[in-house]
Structure 1
């Protein structure tokens, strides 16, 4: 254990004592402290392979075992890092922020409770998008789920990190309704209407009485969520839409200024995402098939790739869900709006209930193929994301793209970017794909990321989520009144977790007296 970072103030003997205490309350088969165990819980996409190593892991299988494990952690003042399934690749995966923490792996908690009458579900942390999809199919339930690009992940974990999908229910955190949470002390609480014993409306009305706590447990370290209610989309009567390609980088402005009003008006109820050519090409081919030139790809190579696959510089998939007659009317509006801004190509699509269904993210089908993009450079592929929040303004978005694209070229990286629509905002998701077997490339990633953060901050743009390495950096960009939001978060943290044992440093929230702030 000499080469393994220990928690602050710990000796190997004290870690061994805590390990034995976990074994006494969970059983030895749910406690993992070997070298292989520790390696298994490292970040597979880490920029710095020496960072964020856990000292061990535990895998409780029930709420009662979560409570018991947190009591042990409090007894020994041992930091715990909960994960749902550990598939949040590009943001830290299974690894803890604070080296020496014990990972609390909740992937064995996989219960599903479905309310067909109201279209709601209660899931535990270990339920993946594949699990929920299979449950709905097996029980012939008339509902669609919304899936992200990596459906290996946890339904709960994705919503807790504000992950996105492709359907009208794609802003997953907005579909949360009612949680069961174990506080750092081990006390069990239920939020919203769940605070009333026996209330039948726990998954129907998210607010309850008094403060609404569901969002307080999103991206925070205030508790361990063991159950989460979610709303699901009723299976639509029809689906209509189009895949649209645009030829020039500058077309981004017209795309955003056209799609944004349709989204705000409600003609489009999904959350479409405009992606550049590499988002499509990186799952179809690899870089070495086109060039061995160093640095960012030239326009000539980009043109060859685009021509081969018949894709635009930007592409967007727009979908309409619901009653067929309503969709037909909305489609005409959508078609005219797209034609008015001179697309390179429009490919229409339609489906009516009873017809064979396409198995894509647009129909709530789980998938993992987008993860193929990490093989773009070869070697041990990985990525992290830089994702600032922007207004739905085409000029602002184009300027942000040009700044970011110039930085990709400066650092010799190939640009993969997208602009995902909320109801009023844009998420500018930029993927930094890398080859972990290239020391030269890996040396660029950290300064590249920090430069992008600084560039965006100059215009008031900050990230909506980030990798473990950068939680403090991003937290610092939320700097109104000298960082009063962080002070508020840390005041709540200290009240709920006086021993500072639960996920120290998560989202830049550190317990009082911590030595762990990472600049």
Structure 2
């Protein structure tokens, strides 16, 4: 906590939310072991109107704010601000699903609404949520605003409208919102500039609500599981890309290096791929059969199966069944797969484990995927940190590569050196990050688009938030 005027600063919030909702403490430990910033304290508002009043009060006193949804931004900072001397807003108590329309395919949710909470409301309906493979207790809005990747596509594609408190306390709604007097198609862009994306990785305001698109639930779904050796990485990538480019794949095709594949019970030392196919029962049977036949004929894969989830005798039955349910919008409230990957429950990560993320984009080519694997092997040779890598295929040309660095907390310095090496080597190869952790903010100027674009972004920030009230230093 900072020195004075900390006590006076935090007392401003007590007058708005009540003494019991204010603490002089910071946001607590973070699993990445990033430097803990000095803060004036933590405030836990319960309503969007309280957030509005807090922003207006602190803006009038030139005090900056850092807001988080549920704080599960693991590996990138968790709840940690980017700068010192801020008031932290914990929005986890804004956990209302305000409205939902299953027929039209939308829900209005607040920042504290988790993917497990929203998925439960959709259980048994014809609609589903685009869930991630993270904990069921992570925020829908928080992850989408930082460009998290779900099992169907990037979650920013699900943001139809946002309710935002601007730095002066004004509340605006952008994008598509339900109209009580007329029903319009759910579409975020409308007339004029499309402003929803302005607030994605943009510290121009605090989001207190969002319209989230709900997806049609497929009639049938199957996941084809494939294993292959490291020596076949290039050939396997070429085969996976062909299926993606020719429209055989539904949702996000995923592949895992041996370190990441362990969490799914894969054969030690082998790579793993999950290829999802959905649609009508006849289409699923035909397409999954085609993929299995081609995979076997290719000779690239050591094991090929499209029956694991349906076959209780399969050694991969339980985990594959959970994977298929995730593709169907069930984030698994028991966190079974998540705990298998992490080795402990979600609420213990920040206190017990060392964990870092690096998130670059790669061309979906054999050459790029092999190169990325070679770069991670160099990091292991130089630091001893064996990085996990999960490829989320976003189309025939782009892979979102999730690089994970798990480490003993006593080895934090070595792990952070490994993270720096990953940043340097991947960007030099042209594999630029699309999300940043709280200690690598300067990479916005190294990777954040053209110089003129970055300058224009900062002009917008200075115009909208001249006092730097909202999340100073977060991305720009």
Q: Report the TM-score, using the length of structure 2 for normalisation.
A: 0.89
Partner of 2:383: 411
* 1:189 counterpart = 2:172: yes
Partner of 1:280: 261
> Which of 72, 78, 94 is the aligned partner of 2:63?
78
Q: Distance in 2 between matches of 1:241 and 1:375?
A: 24
| Deviation for aligned residue 1:69 | 0.3
| 8 A Cα contact 2:160 2:186, kept in partner | yes
| Deviation for aligned residue 1:100 | 2.5
1:255-334 to 2 correspondences below 5 Å: 255-282=236-263, 310-311=267-268, 313-334=270-291
* 1:502 counterpart = 2:470: yes
Alpha carbons of structure 1 residues 181 and 144: separation in structure 2 relative to 1, 3 Å: same
> Which of 106, 110, 113 is the aligned partner of 1:124?
110
Q: How many corresponding residue pairs?
A: 454
Partner of 2:328: 363
Q: Distance in 2 between matches of 1:392 and 1:283?
A: 23
Residue 65 of structure 1 aligns to a residue in which SS? helix
* 1:468 counterpart = 2:438: yes
Q: Distance in 2 between matches of 1:311 and 1:363?
A: 28
| 8 A Cα contact 1:312 1:344, kept in partner | no
| Deviation for aligned residue 1:283 | 7.2
> Which of 294, 301, 304 is the aligned partner of 1:346?
304
- 1:5-53 residue CA offsets vs partner (Å, 9 max, x unmatched): x3xxxx51x32222222111222122221xxx32xx13421334x4324
> Which of 232, 254, 263 is the aligned partner of 2:235?
254
* 1:56 counterpart = 2:36: no
Alpha carbons of structure 1 residues 195 and 185: separation in structure 2 relative to 1, 3 Å: farther
* 1:431 counterpart = 2:404: yes
- 1:301-355 residue CA offsets vs partner (Å, 9 max, x unmatched): xxxxxxxx63552001111111112222222332233222421101213889xxx
* 1:91 counterpart = 2:82: no
Q: Distance in 2 between matches of 1:460 and 1:251?
A: 23
| 8 A Cα contact 2:257 2:270, kept in partner | yes
Q: Distance in 1 between matches of 2:385 and 2:272?
A: 21
Partner of 1:19: 10
Q: Distance in 2 between matches of 1:428 and 1:480?
A: 19
| Deviation for aligned residue 1:476 | 2.6
Residue 103 of structure 1 aligns to a residue in which SS? strand
Structure 1: tracts of 5 or more residues without a match = 285-308, 510-519
| Deviation for aligned residue 1:237 | 1.2
Alpha carbons of structure 1 residues 31 and 82: separation in structure 2 relative to 1, 3 Å: same
Alpha carbons of structure 1 residues 272 and 417: separation in structure 2 relative to 1, 3 Å: same
Alpha carbons of structure 1 residues 405 and 351: separation in structure 2 relative to 1, 3 Å: closer
Q: Distance in 1 between matches of 2:85 and 2:340?
A: 31
Alpha carbons of structure 1 residues 484 and 446: separation in structure 2 relative to 1, 3 Å: farther
| 8 A Cα contact 2:114 2:137, kept in partner | yes
Q: Distance in 1 between matches of 2:238 and 2:174?
A: 39
Alpha carbons of structure 1 residues 114 and 99: separation in structure 2 relative to 1, 3 Å: same
| 8 A Cα contact 1:374 1:383, kept in partner | no
Residue 469 of structure 1 aligns to a residue in which SS? coil
Q: Distance in 1 between matches of 2:178 and 2:225?
A: 45
Partner of 1:235: 217
Q: Distance in 2 between matches of 1:95 and 1:252?
A: 37
Q: Distance in 1 between matches of 2:163 and 2:238?
A: 41
Alpha carbons of structure 1 residues 466 and 333: separation in structure 2 relative to 1, 3 Å: same
Alpha carbons of structure 1 residues 329 and 60: separation in structure 2 relative to 1, 3 Å: same
Alpha carbons of structure 1 residues 323 and 85: separation in structure 2 relative to 1, 3 Å: same
- 1:172-228 residue CA offsets vs partner (Å, 9 max, x unmatched): 111211111111111111112449896633x70110211111111111101111111
> Which of 376, 386, 393 is the aligned partner of 1:421?
393
> Which of 175, 188, 194 is the aligned partner of 1:212?
194
Partner of 2:136: 151
| 8 A Cα contact 1:22 1:31, kept in partner | yes
Partner of 1:299: none
Partner of 1:173: 156
Q: Distance in 1 between matches of 2:213 and 2:423?
A: 34
| Deviation for aligned residue 1:109 | 1.0
- 1:223-276 residue CA offsets vs partner (Å, 9 max, x unmatched): 111111122222221112311111x21322122222223223332121121102
| Deviation for aligned residue 1:383 | 0.8
Alpha carbons of structure 1 residues 89 and 475: separation in structure 2 relative to 1, 3 Å: same
| 8 A Cα contact 1:193 1:199, kept in partner | no
Residue 207 of structure 1 aligns to a residue in which SS? coil
Two-structure CA RMSD over aligned residues (Å)? 2.5
Q: Distance in 1 between matches of 2:157 and 2:426?
A: 26
Q: Report the TM-score, using the length of structure 1 for normalisation.
A: 0.82
| 8 A Cα contact 2:160 2:176, kept in partner | no
Q: Distance in 1 between matches of 2:135 and 2:224?
A: 23
| Deviation for aligned residue 1:108 | 0.8
> Which of 100, 104, 118 is the aligned partner of 1:114?
100
Q: Distance in 2 between matches of 1:197 and 1:491?
A: 37
| 8 A Cα contact 2:255 2:271, kept in partner | yes
Q: Distance in 2 between matches of 1:124 and 1:402?
A: 42
| 8 A Cα contact 2:220 2:281, kept in partner | yes
Q: Distance in 1 between matches of 2:128 and 2:82?
A: 34
